[in-house]
Chain A
Amino acid sequence: MSPFLDAMTRVPPLLAAHLLLAAAALALGLTISLPLAIWSARRPGVARVALGFASLVQTIPSLALLALFYPLLLFVSGLAGGGIPALGFLPSLLALTLYALLPILRNGVTGMAGIDPAVIEAADGMGMTAWQKLRLVEAPLVAPVLMAGVRTAAVWTIGAATLSTTVGQPSLGDLIFAGLQTQNWALVLAGCVSAAGLALAVDALLGLIERGIATRRRGRVYGAGAVLLLAVLAALAPLAVPRAPTIVIGSKNFSEQYILARVIGHRLERAGYRVEYREGLGSAVIYGALSSGAIDVYVDYAGTLWTNAMRRRDTPARPAMVAAIGNWSARTSGVRLLGALGFENAYAFAMRGDAARAKGIVSLDDLVRAAPGLTLGSDLEFLERPEWAAVQRAYPIRFAATHAYSPTFMYRALESGQADVISAFSSDGRIAAEHLTVLTDPRRAIPGYDAILLLAPKRAKDARLAAALTPLVGRIPVAAMREANYLVDRDRNKVSPEGAARWLERRLGL
C-alpha cells in the first residue's frame, strides 16, 4: 500500500472526532450569536460591545486561544472544586465557539441593518407582534446573509479544529502534527486533504441551503440539512457502542515520544488492554493532562518537571532527582512515577563538528567567548524555558541572534549554516549521524533529563497495568533510543514511529 493510502486508514475515527468537534462548536456558536445578533440589531450599544468582543477574539491566534483555555479552565475547575476537564473536548469546543461567533454575528447584524425600513414599517403597520415580525419578515430576509456568515464560521472552525490536537482533543490535526514532527509527509497530506475536504463538503452543503433559502426552494434546504445531520449522526454512532476500558497514552510532539507511546501501547495491548493515543500534546499541558486523568500514562523527562512544574533551580545527581520527583508527584497530585527508562534526553548545545573544532569550542565556557559572533537556533519552547534561564545565569552567553524552529527544521538550519549552535536533545539520533559536537556543561547548569514513566492518579494502584509496564524500567539505553529516533528523523528511508517502536522492541527483546 502506498504511504498516503496507509496514512488515510487512520483518517476515519479522526475525521469523525473532527466533525463532531466542529459541529458542536458551530451549533454552540449559533446558539449564542443568533440571539446576540437580534439583540444587537435592536440596540446599537449592544452591537458595538458584541462585535468588538468577537473581533478581539479573532485577533488572538487560534493556537494561543486554545492554549489560553487550559489555565482558564484549571482555574475555574479549582473554584468549582474540580471536575471540569481543562484538556480535550471542552477547551477545544469553547475556543472554536468563540472563533465561530464573529462571522455569524457580523453577518446577522449587517443583514438586519440591511432590511429595507419600509418593509419593517409595513410589518408594524400590518399589526405584527415583535415575534411575528422576526419570524415572518426579518428571519427570512436575513437568512441568506446569515448563511454566508455561517459558511465562513464553518470553514474557519473546521480549519482551526486541527489545532485542538495540542490540547489533547483528537482531530485531523493529529495526523498533521505527527507528520510534521516525523517528516512523514504522507501523514501531513492525509490530514490536510481530509480537513480541506471536510471544509469544502460542509461549505458546499451550507451553500446549497443558502441558495435554497434565497430562491425559496425548501427541498434543497431540507435535503442539504439532512445530509449534514446524517454526517453528524454517523460520526456519533461509534460513541453509542459501549467500549472496553481504554488506556489513553499521551505523547508530546517529537519522534521519541511517538515511538515510546507505541512501545507502551504494544505492551498494554499484549496485556489485554484497549489503547488510544493522544499525540502531540504541548510540553506545558501534558503533565496536567495526566494528573487530571485525561491521559493515563506518558513519558516525561526529569529535568522538565524539575524546572517547570516544581520550579527548582538546583541540579542534584540524577537518581536523587528522579526519587524527589516521584515523591513530589505522589504528594501533590497522586501521579505515580513508575521508574526511569534508562536513558536521558537532556537539553544540550550542539554545533557542527567541523565548526566547533575550527573555533576550538568544546564547552559552554568556550561558547561564552564565541557567542557574540554566532546565531542560536532553538526549538519553539527552549528560549522560554527555565533551562535557558539557568544556562544564562551560569554562563554569560550573548548570541548575535536567536531563531526558533520546530525540531526538524532546527537541524536543517544547523546543517545549512543559518544557525551555528542549536538546542539539541541528547538522545537525538541526528547528533551521532550528523557528526555534531555536544558542548559540555562544566558548571552543571542543566539538570538531568532521565526519561520517566508516569501513571495517572486513577491508575496509580492498578497492579496489572504496573506489571505490564514495569519491564520497560531501566531497559532502554540511550544508544538504542538514538537509533530508533534516527529511523524516524532521518531524511531518507524514513520509518514510521510504529515501525521504529517495533524495531526498538526487537532490539531490546521487549
Chain B
Amino acid sequence: MADSHSTGPSVAFAAVTKRYSGGAVAVDDVSLEIAGGAFVALVGSSGSGKSTLLKMINRLIVPSAGVVRIDGADVADGPAYALRRRIGYVFQNIGLFPHMTVGENVAIGLRLAGERDTAARVAALLDLVDLPQAFAARMPDALSGGQRQRVGVARALATAPGLLLLDEPFGALDPVTRDQLGNAVRALHDRLGLTTIMVTHDMAEGLILADRVLVMDAGRIVADATPQALLAGQGGAVADALVAVPSEQARRLRALEEGA
C-alpha cells in the first residue's frame, strides 16, 4: 500500500501570518521549506503558534496572509475536503467516532474515497500500528488511551497519504505508551517514506524522533536546526531554555546511575 510512495511531498510556507479578529497574532510572517521525506518537529511552549502553523497546512485554519504549498501547489486551490483526504492528521484528543467500530473508524477515509471492500485494508492497518486484528469489531470506548491513539494513527494512514500531520499526538498518554507510540510512528515514517510534521511541547520528544527541529516563540520560528545542533547550543536563547530541561534531566539520571 503506502510503500509505493518513494518519498512524501515537500511543504513550504511563504510569509504566512495568522491574525485573529481581536488583534492577537498567532503566526507572524513565517517562511519555511520542509523537504519531502523529512521528519520535522515543531516545538514551543503553549501559545507559541505551533498548532496554528500546522493546521494551516490542511486548512483547518486559514491564514490571514501568505501561501502554504504542498509540492509547489497552493493548498487554498480546490475544496478543503479534497486537500484533507491527501493528508494524514492525528491530534491529541484523537476524535475517534464513538458510534463506529474500530474497523469502521480506520476505514472511514477509504469509505469517503468510495471504496467498499475494506476489511483486508483494515486488518493490514491494524497490523501496521501493532494492534490485534480482532480489535476491528470493538467500539472505541473499549480501548485504552494508547490503543485509541494507535487506531487514530491507522485511520490517518488508511488512504496512504504522503504527508502526516501530528498535533501533540502523544500528549495525553502515559510515558511508556508515549515512548512506544513515538518509536512506532518514527518507524512508520521511515518505512512508508512519509513527510511527517509533528507539533509537540516536549523538546525531548522532538529531539529523539525528528531529523529537524523548529522552535517557535510568539508566532515566529526562533530556531531551525538538527537535534545535534540544538543540543550543542546552536539554537539561540529560547531553544536553549527548552533543550536545557531534558539535558538537565538526562544529566541527573546519569549522575544517579553513576552514584549507585
* Interface residue ranges, A against B (CB under 8 Å): 116-129, 132, 136-137, 140-141, 216
Contact = CB atoms under 8 A, between A and B. Distances in A.
B99 interface: yes
B65 interface: no
Interface of B: 58, 60, 79-85, 89, 91, 93-99, 108-109, 112, 152, 155
Nearest to A125: B89
A137 B97 contact: yes
Contacts of B109: 126-127
Nearest to A132: B112
A216 B137 CA distance: 13
B81 A127 contact: yes
A193 B247 CA distance: 79
B112 A122 contact: no
B104 to A, nearest CB: 10
A268 B80 CA distance: 72
Given A121-B60, A132-B112, A137-B97, A126 B91 contact: no
Contacts of A125: 58, 60, 84, 89, 91, 95
Contacts of A117: 93
Contacts of A116: 93, 95, 98
User: Which 4 residue pairs of A and B lie closest in terms of their CB atoms, listed nearest first?
Assistant: A122-B95, A118-B93, A127-B84, A127-B85
Given A127-B109, A127-B112, A136-B108, A122 B84 contact: no
B61 to A, nearest CB: 11
A125 B97 CA distance: 12
A119 B100 CA distance: 12
Contact of B85 (A120, A121, A126, A140): A126
Contacts of B93: 116-118, 121
B17 to A, nearest CB: 22
Q: Which of B79, B83, B96, B99 has the most CB of A within 10 A?
A: B99
Given A126-B84, A127-B83, A129-B81, A119 B112 contact: no
B59 to A, nearest CB: 9
A126 B112 contact: yes
A119 B85 contact: no
A216 B82 CA distance: 30
Contacts of A128: 81, 112
B227 to A, nearest CB: 28
Contact of A141 (B80, B85, B96, B98): B98
Contacts of B108: 126, 136
Contacts of B152: 122
A137 B104 CA distance: 12
Nearest to B111: A136
A140 B95 contact: no
Nearest to A140: B99
Nearest to A143: B99
24 contacts: A116-B98, A118-B91, A119-B95, A119-B97, A119-B98, A120-B95, A121-B93, A122-B94, A122-B97, A122-B152, A124-B84, A125-B84, A126-B84, A126-B85, A126-B108, A127-B80, A127-B83, A127-B84, A127-B112, A128-B81, A129-B79, A137-B99, A140-B99, A216-B99
